[in-house]
Amino acid sequence: MTSPSEAEGDRLDPGLSAIVSERRQLIGLAYRMLGSLAEAEDVVQETYARWYAMSPPQREAIGSPGGWLTRVASRICLDVLGSARARRERYVGEWIPEPLPGHADWGGGPPHAAADPADRVTLDESVNMAFLVVLEAMTPAERVAFILHDVFRYPFADVAEIVGRTPAACRQLASSARRRIRAAQPSATPPAQQARVVREFKQAWESQDIGALLGLLDPDATATGDGGGLATAMPRPVEGAEQIARFFTERARADRATIRECTVNGQPGLRAELDGTTVSVMAFEVVDGRIRRIWTVLNPDKLRPWTAEPWSGGRGWS
């Protein structure tokens, strides 16, 4: 039901509901560009601030408010990406994109309703952790051009206006980004198989079974941790199945945390909970039935969406 005040607001600004409805897409766009939900929300807030800083006649003169918001948000993201590179060079340890929580039934049933803030970003292949990590290696212009064109289907003429280059140059940027994605992304693993492998990893980890862990890990597997200087994490990635298996076995002996199955950026993952608080979140890349890459986020600043919402006892994917 619409309240009188809401109805009055719509009469004062007929385009208000249309403008507000763009927020979900803007958050999704900015998250993919920045790899940080907190930064994405800041970008969208700044975008709306610029919209409402204009006079009513100026806003009414804009033929496509949604297009205007997208262009402004993308330009802000481009600026943020430039400064983010400098910040991440000063970052303590490895930097991993901020993980997104979600609720999904990986046993084949219907998905559960996603809780805030995950409901603001469509969880598909363009937000899985492996994809976001590849995006981190791109130049800001390359990343923005690729996301706008290949993910959100904006024509290169519009992308050029945002990036400040010619359409031909933007086409080359997106093509270069596409090659990076193809080179880094393995063939997709069915969710049910991913869930099985991750669940078996959890069980082997909890039982400190090095042999089982070795059987689940690719010989050239890599495990990366992100503590951001605020939580203890390995300063460099752990490489090789044997080293990773021993690392997690030793960690299991020392940890008091409870490991739970969860959905991380739309895919099966794990989270560690201590005294009711999520202290780490793990995302996995599974290739040919084995774990090739593990990303563990321990930085509490990146885990706020996980600690802010109630969790349901580890329903997992079954």
205 and 287 belong to one structural domain? yes
Flag whether 100 is in a domain.
Answer: no
Find, among 124, 230, 171, 193, the residue nearest to 132 by Cα.
124
d(CA 81, CA 30): 10
What pLDDT is stored for residue 108 in this prediction? Answer: 35
198 and 166 belong to one structural domain? no
State the CATH number of the domain containing residue 248.
Answer: 3.10.450.50
85 and 37 belong to one structural domain? yes
* Residue 277 DSSP SS3: strand
Q: Going by C-beta distance under 8 Å and a sequence separation of 6 or more, which residues neighbour residue 273?
A: 257, 258, 259, 260, 279, 311
Find, among 212, 310, 190, 206, the residue nearest to 262 by Cα.
310
Domain housing 272: 191-307
**pLDDT per position as a tens digit, 251-286:** 887 778 899 999 999 999 999 999 889 999 999 999
Q: How remote is the C-alpha of 72 from its chain's centroid?
A: 21
262 and 213 belong to one structural domain? yes
237 and 290 belong to one structural domain? yes
| Domain boundary residue, one of 162, 185, 208 | 185
**pLDDT per position as a tens digit, 152-166:** 999 999 999 999 999
* Residue 230 DSSP SS3: coil
23 and 127 belong to one structural domain? no
Find, among 133, 91, 150, 154, the residue nearest to 267 by Cα.
133
Find, among 216, 316, 318, the residue nearest to 264 by Cα.
316
d(CA 191, CA 180): 23
What's the domain count of the chain?
Answer: 3
**Considering all CA atoms of the chain, what is the largest pairwise distance in Å, rounded to the nearest integer?**
69
**pLDDT per position as a tens digit, 199-255:** 999 999 999 999 999 999 999 999 999 999 999 888 899 999 999 999 999 988 777
Question: Token digits for 109?
Answer: 């049933």
pLDDT bin (cut points 50, 70, 90) of residue 124 is: low
Question: Token digits for 128?
Answer: 């899985």
| Domain boundary residue, one of 170, 185, 200 | 185
End-to-end CA distance of the chain: 37
164 and 223 belong to one structural domain? no
- Reported as type and span, the H/E element at residue 220 is strand 217-226
176 and 233 belong to one structural domain? no
137 and 212 belong to one structural domain? no
pTM for this entry:
0.83
Question: Token digits for 288?
Answer: 């040919």
Flag whether 67 is in a domain.
Answer: yes
178 and 282 belong to one structural domain? no
Residue position matching structure tokens 């992100």: 226
